[in-house]
């Protein structure tokens, strides 16, 4: 029977090659969210009244257009990651947006309505400084790009270069500002730090130097942010050390020194240590800037000033004020100022820029999220109302990268959580049971107290369940009478409960900005978010689930370890993953840098798993560290091991815990750092189950798998990147004993190496430098035809080394990430989830990566369902689990088992988020979506009635025959 079952299963597996979705299933089990990241430049399209375009360029090298009514993306262009795709500048003129990309490498013009490319020019080399529109007589025809040593002028219409000029004395002078007042000249401002400012004037037609001048400014260090051009060509600088402002007319011939205006004379004072910032506005690129400007004197203090004939007069003092921004509509320019209202809200007001008068009825109340960060950037979209007054909307970006779009009097039109564009790590946590289910569960958890009491308790809990069921029925009945549109199926924290098959889970996501999210996996709704302040930009995060929801009435508990790379110090954040509330449990003070953490399968009396933290002296701190835990640790100490991998020193070391929570070094493996570098180490996932302990051969004997739970896969890359000498090394090391179980070197191979370690196999991908292609390689370990010890596994008692089989394949695409599916019991066959740079996620059956694939098919291999070896692995489009929903820049794929053995939940994160389900062996435990319930039930009913009727007829007939 066993054999027939196995055969049946294998034939099921053979059926599972197709995995595509049907058209009506699109979006049923999956969702995608697209993000842009932290906004660097944002420009509102103010050309027409009805325009709803918002153009953003972000730190993630993305140029996108957002619908300002809904917050949805109209279009998005994802450029290369890193400095190559970095967006240096965004300028908007009419329908065209000009973008300088990659430190001045490329100048592009985009059509903003549909996001099409108008033209693109490659610029000369040199680091980018600035870019500006050059206007002549109210017409903007050119754009000037300033590099470190050259200035070039391009036509706006086609991008062709009008002229390019080398800058005089560019090795000593730092040119930083290019300016045009619309009067037919191009002014270039440069600085020699602590010495003087250089002003060069170019002819717009041929690039000839018209005038060159230098002005002494011994206090100056940089032009950017401390100097602006205001009014009709007046250079204005602010300086902290001399506590004064300087003006200099760029047009004047006779002026040789800057006019100094002491801030004291204006009655102003700069906050100590704060570099004053000047903000000016140029409403039209072909006209000179306004003579009004804003001076920021402190982090919360701005002042609106006016320059009038070299005299500066204050118009309005905004104290306190967080953010100030200018906006222009028609002929009117306004200043929007965000100032604190109370502890939970800010108010934004509009002031006329030329008078400093507050405009009536222009207050927007902005309510701060108590779990969010401070507002960091303010973008204003002003428009003229019908009665010629100025109306406006604002977009606020917070420190936690929330974009909120507000309109009067404070309605939030939309918000975008852009922190999710950079998810670092995530976990999926089961949702809690409903109250009634929990009641039933709780019954089993309690201690038995007498037969009668138990019976009564059971009866009462059953009664509660019945009551809940009736309530549910009543609700169904009640809702059924309402029109469909009114019945809201919104997910809120209150209505969260586990579904029948545990397919809906809570996704706990940790983002690089230090914001935590709790997202419902079914709909993608953000149920809670929490911003952790003071998280350094290059911190390392490790998220652990200490207590799952299975231990009612104890709440589930997640612990986030954040390590600051600079100081090495770590902190622990304990929170409830379902509600996002910070836990009040006391965390141990970590005074020493933490090297690693280790989640033990031991539990304290409150069912929280014990977390061990190893500091730089190899001492261990336990959390929670109750007496019970310490006692358990003492008992178990001799069987608790941990390993540390120091990539910089190329050292792998294994430690054993002592009873006094100190450790002893028991093994060490040194990989010479001169030749190779450890790039990754992976053990097996703690929640992985392997159902079958071996593989059935064609002759029906068993080849047992080498399932060492302590096995580590270590991948190294050579330091020599020459294509003839580079190699990739893979070591399989037992983490307890330090024994090298297997090592393999892939010559003429180069990283980046992606690898998966699961069950008894390791799959890794590398770049073959000789054949110039991506290759998959699979290592599989077997114990042999006999099990050494079938009851317990101890790394300390393994006399025989495993048999290792290896095979390699060609993969026709580069990959960006690799992960394996995971199911509840491990019966379902495994698939590899491959994230491709094209944005597709490929579900590749592990069957194709099997080192036992024979070169020539034999009777036995056919019996075993082994596919004959072919070097290429195909990419079939029906294997793309995200069909046409491309996921940009996939950084990681997270897999989690569901309550159904056939189903694995998948979350791909990177720039976008994508959640779906995969069925590696098809849905063998669920009726299909298109299952014909009506037909089956009507057939059943029909048969039932037919039997009834025929029974009756038979009775009558028998009776009649009896009468005959």
Partner 1 sequence: MSSPGGPGGALSTRGGPKRNKWALELSLGSTRSRGDRQNKEGDVMYPVGYSDKPVPDTSVQETDRNLVEKRCWDVALGPLKQIPMNLFIMYMSGNTISIFPIMMVCMMAWRPIQALMSMSATFKLLESSSQQWLQGLVYLIGNLLGSALAIYKCQSMGLLPTHSSDWLAFIEPPQRLEIMGGGMVL
When asked if residue 1 is in the footprint of partner 1 (CB under 8 A), the reply is: yes
When asked if residue 697 is in the footprint of partner 1 (CB under 8 A), the reply is: yes
Whether cis (ω within 30° of 0) applies to the bond prior to 320 is yes
Contact region with partner 1 (CB under 8 A), list: 78-86, 790-798, 924-932, 938-946: 790-798
When asked if residue 590 is in the footprint of partner 1 (CB under 8 A), the reply is: no
What mask of x and - would describe binding to partner 1 in positions 326 to 365, judged by CB under 8 A? ----------------------------------------
Of the candidate residues 10, 43, 164, 636, the single one contacting partner 1 (CB under 8 A) = 636
State the minimum distance, in angstroms, from the CB of residue 460 to partner 1. Answer: 38
Tokens at residue 232, please?
């009709």
Residue with tokens 């050292």: 651
When asked if residue 866 is in the footprint of partner 1 (CB under 8 A), the reply is: no
84 in helix, strand or coil? Answer: helix
What mask of x and - would describe binding to partner 1 in positions 527 to 566, judged by CB under 8 A? -------------x-x------------------x-x---
Distance CA 716, CA 631 (A): 39
Of the candidate residues 369, 646, 867, 892, the single one contacting partner 1 (CB under 8 A) = 646
Contact region with partner 1 (CB under 8 A), list: 336-344, 373-381, 743-751, 786-794: 786-794
State the minimum distance, in angstroms, from the CB of residue 609 to partner 1. Answer: 11
Q: 514 vs 735, which CB is nearer to partner 1? A: 735
User: If we measure between CA atoms, which residue out of 39, 40, 41, 45 comes closest to residue 382?
Assistant: 45
Contact region with partner 1 (CB under 8 A), list: 92-100, 421-429, 588-596, 901-909: 588-596
Tokens at residue 524, please?
């993608």
When asked if residue 643 is in the footprint of partner 1 (CB under 8 A), the reply is: yes
When asked if residue 249 is in the footprint of partner 1 (CB under 8 A), the reply is: no
Q: 465 vs 599, which CB is nearer to partner 1? A: 599
340, with CB counted inside 10 A (0-12, 13-18, 19+), is middle
Residue with tokens 């109209």: 74
What mask of x and - would describe binding to partner 1 in positions 701 to 740, judged by CB under 8 A? xx----x-xx------------------------xx----
Residue with tokens 């959640």: 915
When asked if residue 793 is in the footprint of partner 1 (CB under 8 A), the reply is: yes
User: If we measure between CA atoms, which residue out of 837, 897, 884, 519 comes closest to residue 691?
Assistant: 897
Q: 686 vs 949, which CB is nearer to partner 1? A: 686
What mask of x and - would describe binding to partner 1 in positions 664 to 683, judged by CB under 8 A? --------------x-xx-x
Tokens at residue 302, please?
């701005």
Q: Could you tell me the end-to-end alpha-carbon distance of the chain, in angstroms, rounded to an integer?
A: 53
State the minimum distance, in angstroms, from the CB of residue 295 to partner 1. Answer: 44
Of the candidate residues 266, 496, 600, 666, the single one contacting partner 1 (CB under 8 A) = 600
Contact region with partner 1 (CB under 8 A), list: 106-114, 150-158, 172-180, 687-695: 687-695
Around Cβ 451, how many Cβ atoms within 10 Å?
8
State the minimum distance, in angstroms, from the CB of residue 683 to partner 1. Answer: 7
Tokens at residue 441, please?
């569960």
State the minimum distance, in angstroms, from the CB of residue 712 to partner 1. Answer: 9
CA 850 to chain centre: 33
Residue with tokens 């309690």: 446
CA 963 to each of CA 369, 569, 949: distance values in angstroms, whole numbers, following the listed order: 89, 100, 21
When asked if residue 594 is in the footprint of partner 1 (CB under 8 A), the reply is: yes
Distance CA 740, CA 746 (A): 17
Binders of partner 1 among residues 92 to 121 (CB under 8 A) are: none
Contact 307, 247 (CB under 8 A): yes
Of the candidate residues 62, 100, 570, 713, the single one contacting partner 1 (CB under 8 A) = 570
Beta strands 727-734 and 711-718: pairing type? antiparallel
DSSP letter assigned to residue 691? -
When asked if residue 7 is in the footprint of partner 1 (CB under 8 A), the reply is: yes
State the minimum distance, in angstroms, from the CB of residue 847 to partner 1. Answer: 18
Of the candidate residues 599, 805, 866, 875, the single one contacting partner 1 (CB under 8 A) = 599
State the minimum distance, in angstroms, from the CB of residue 688 to partner 1. Answer: 11
Contact region with partner 1 (CB under 8 A), list: 166-174, 226-234, 240-248, 696-704: 696-704
Q: 39 vs 613, which CB is nearer to partner 1? A: 613
DSSP secondary structure string for all residues of 935-948 = HHHHHHHHHHHHHH
Strand partners, 947: none
When asked if residue 444 is in the footprint of partner 1 (CB under 8 A), the reply is: no
User: If we measure between CA atoms, which residue out of 586, 667, 658 comes closest to residue 619?
Assistant: 658
Whether cis (ω within 30° of 0) applies to the bond prior to 624 is yes
Distance CA 359, CA 349 (A): 8
When asked if residue 4 is in the footprint of partner 1 (CB under 8 A), the reply is: yes
Of the candidate residues 275, 462, 596, 923, the single one contacting partner 1 (CB under 8 A) = 596
Distance CA 220, CA 14 (A): 74
Q: 581 vs 689, which CB is nearer to partner 1? A: 689
When asked if residue 601 is in the footprint of partner 1 (CB under 8 A), the reply is: yes
State the minimum distance, in angstroms, from the CB of residue 61 to partner 1. Answer: 28
Distance CA 383, CA 465 (A): 58
CA 418 to each of CA 372, 377, 403, 421: distance values in angstroms, whole numbers, following the listed order: 13, 14, 7, 6
State the minimum distance, in angstroms, from the CB of residue 792 to partner 1. Answer: 5
Q: 373 vs 680, which CB is nearer to partner 1? A: 680
Distance CA 844, CA 817 (A): 13
For residues 372, 374, 379, 381, the Cα torsion angle rounded to the nearest 10 degrees is 60
Of the candidate residues 240, 464, 644, 666, the single one contacting partner 1 (CB under 8 A) = 644
For residues 820, 813, 717, 688, the Cα torsion angle rounded to the nearest 10 degrees is 0
When asked if residue 598 is in the footprint of partner 1 (CB under 8 A), the reply is: yes
Of the candidate residues 473, 796, 927, 940, the single one contacting partner 1 (CB under 8 A) = 796
When asked if residue 620 is in the footprint of partner 1 (CB under 8 A), the reply is: no
- Counting other chains too, the contacts that 585-593 makes at CB distance below 8 Å and 24 or more residues apart are 585/557, 585/624, 587/623, 588/613, 588/621, 588/622, 588/623, 588/625, 590/615, 590/621, 592/616, 592/617, 592/619, 593/563, 593/567, 593/568, 593/569
- Interface residues toward partner 1, by CB under 8 A: 1-7, 540, 542, 561, 563, 570, 594-602, 614, 636, 639-647, 678, 680-681, 683, 689-694, 696-697, 700-702, 707, 709-710, 735-736, 787, 789-796, 962-964
């Amino acid at each position: 029977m066993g054999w027939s079952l196995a055969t049946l299963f294998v034939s099921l597996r053979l059926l599972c090659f197709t995995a595509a979705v049907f058209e009506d299933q699109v979006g049923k089990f999956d969702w995608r969210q697209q993000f842009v990241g932290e906004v660097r430049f944002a420009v509102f399209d103010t050309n027409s009244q009805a325009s709803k375009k918002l153009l953003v360029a972000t730190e993630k090298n993305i140029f996108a257009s957002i619908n300002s009514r809904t917050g949805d993306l109209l279009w998005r262009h994802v450029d290369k990651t890193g400095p190559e795709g970095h967006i240096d500048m965004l300028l908007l003129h009419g329908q065209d947006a000009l973008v300088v990309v990659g430190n001045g490498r490329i100048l592009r013009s985009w059509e903003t309505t549909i996001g099409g490319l108008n033209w693109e020019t490659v610029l000369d080399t040199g680091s980018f400084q600035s870019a500006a529109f050059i206007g002549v007589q109210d017409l903007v025809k050119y754009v000037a790009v300033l590099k470190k040593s050259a200035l070039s002028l391009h036509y706006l219409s086609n991008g062709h270069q009008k002229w390019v000029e080398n800058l005089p004395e560019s090795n000593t002078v730092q040119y930083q500002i290019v300016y045009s007042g619309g009067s037919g000249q191009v002014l270039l401002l440069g600085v020699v730090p602590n010495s003087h400012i250089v002003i060069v004037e170019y002819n717009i037609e041929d690039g000839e130097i018209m005038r060159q001048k230098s002005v002494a400014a011994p206090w100056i260090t940089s032009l950017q942010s401390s100097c602006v051009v205001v009014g009709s060509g007046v250079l204005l600088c602010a300086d902290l050390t001399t506590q004064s402002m300087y003006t200099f007319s760029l047009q004047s011939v006779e002026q040789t020194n800057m006019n100094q205006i002491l801030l004291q004379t204006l009655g102003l004072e700069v906050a100590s240590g704060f570099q004053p910032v000047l903000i000016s506005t140029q409403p039209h690129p072909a006209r000179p800037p306004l003579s009004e400007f804003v001076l920021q004197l402190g982090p919360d203090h701005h002042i609106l000033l006016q320059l009038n004939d070299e005299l500066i007069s204050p118009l309005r003092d905004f104290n306190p004020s967080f953010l100030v921004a200018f906006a222009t509509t028609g002929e009117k320019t306004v200043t929007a100022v965000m100032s604190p209202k109370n502890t939970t809200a800010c108010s934004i007001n509009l002031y006329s820029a030329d008078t400093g008068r507050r405009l009536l009825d222009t207050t927007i109340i902005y309510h701060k999220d108590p779990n969010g960060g401070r507002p960091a950037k303010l973008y204003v979209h002003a428009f003229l109302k019908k009665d010629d007054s100025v109306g406006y909307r604002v977009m606020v970006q917070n420190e936690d990268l929330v974009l909120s779009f507000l309109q009067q009097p404070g309605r939030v039109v939309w918000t975008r959580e852009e922190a999710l564009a950079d998810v670092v790590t995530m976990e999926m946590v089961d949702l809690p049971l409903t109250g009634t289910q929990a009641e039933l569960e709780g019954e089993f958890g309690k201690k038995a107290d007498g037969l009668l009491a138990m019976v009564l308790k059971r009866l009462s809990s059953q009664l509660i369940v019945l009551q809940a069921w009736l309530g549910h029925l009543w609700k169904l009945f009640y809702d059924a009478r309402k029109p469909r549109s009114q019945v809201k199926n919104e997910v809120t924290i209150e209505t969260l409960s586990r579904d029948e098959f545990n397919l809906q889970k809570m996704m706990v996501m940790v983002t690089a900005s230090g914001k935590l999210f709790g997202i419902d996996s079914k709909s993608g709704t953000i149920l809670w978010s929490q911003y952790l302040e003071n998280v350094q930009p290059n911190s390392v995060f490790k998220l652990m689930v200490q207590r799952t929801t299975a231990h009612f009435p104890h709440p589930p508990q997640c612990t986030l370890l954040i390590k600051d790379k600079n100081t090495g110090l770590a902190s622990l954040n304990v929170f409830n993953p379902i509600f996002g509330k910070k836990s009040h449990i006391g965390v141990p003070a970590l005074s020493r840098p933490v090297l690693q953490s280790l989640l033990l399968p031991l539990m304290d009396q409150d069912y929280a798993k014990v977390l061990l933290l190893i500091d730089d002296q190899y001492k261990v701190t336990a959390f929670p560290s109750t007496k019970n835990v310490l006692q358990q640790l003492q008992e178990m100490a001799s069987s608790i091991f941990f390993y540390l991998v120091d990539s910089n020193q190329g050292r792998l070391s294994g430690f054993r815990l002592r009873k006094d929570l100190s450790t002893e070094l028991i093994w060490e493996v040194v990989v010479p750092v001169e030749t190779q570098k450890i790039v990754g180490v992976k053990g097996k996932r703690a929640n992985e189950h392997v159902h079958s302990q071996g593989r059935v051969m064609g002759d029906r004997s068993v080849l047992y798998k080498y399932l060492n739970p302590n096995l580590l896969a270590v991948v190294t890359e050579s330091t020599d990147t020459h294509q003839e000498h580079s190699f990739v090394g893979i070591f399989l090391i037992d983490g307890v004993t330090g024994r090298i179980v297997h090592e393999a070197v892939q010559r003429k191979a180069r990283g980046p190496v992606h690898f998966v370690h699961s069950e008894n196999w390791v799959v890794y991908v590398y770049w073959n430098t000789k054949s110039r292609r991506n290759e998959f390689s699979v290592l599989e370990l077997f114990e042999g035809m006999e099990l050494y010890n079938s009851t317990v596994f101890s790394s300390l008692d393994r006399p025989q080394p495993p048999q290792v089989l290896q095979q390699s394949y060609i993969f026709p695409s580069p990959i960006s990430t690799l992960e394996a599916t995971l199911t509840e019991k491990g019966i379902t066959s495994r698939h590899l989830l491959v994230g491709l740079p094209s944005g597709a996620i490929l579900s590749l059956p592990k069957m194709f990566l099997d080192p036992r694939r024979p070169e020539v098919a034999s009777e036995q291999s056919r019996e075993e369902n082994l596919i004959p070896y072919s070097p290429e692995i195909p990419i079939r489009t029906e294997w793309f689990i995200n069909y046409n929903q491309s996921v940009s820049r996939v950084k990681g794929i997270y897999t989690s088992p569901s309550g159904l053995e056939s189903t694995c939940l998948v979350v791909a994160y990177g720039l976008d988020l994508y959640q779906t389900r995969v069925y590696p062996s098809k849905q063998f435990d669920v009726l299909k979506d298109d299952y014909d319930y009506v037909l089956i039930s009507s057939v059943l009913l029909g048969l039932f009635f037919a039997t009834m009727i025929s029974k009756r007829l038979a009775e009558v007939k028998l009776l009649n025959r009896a009468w005959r």
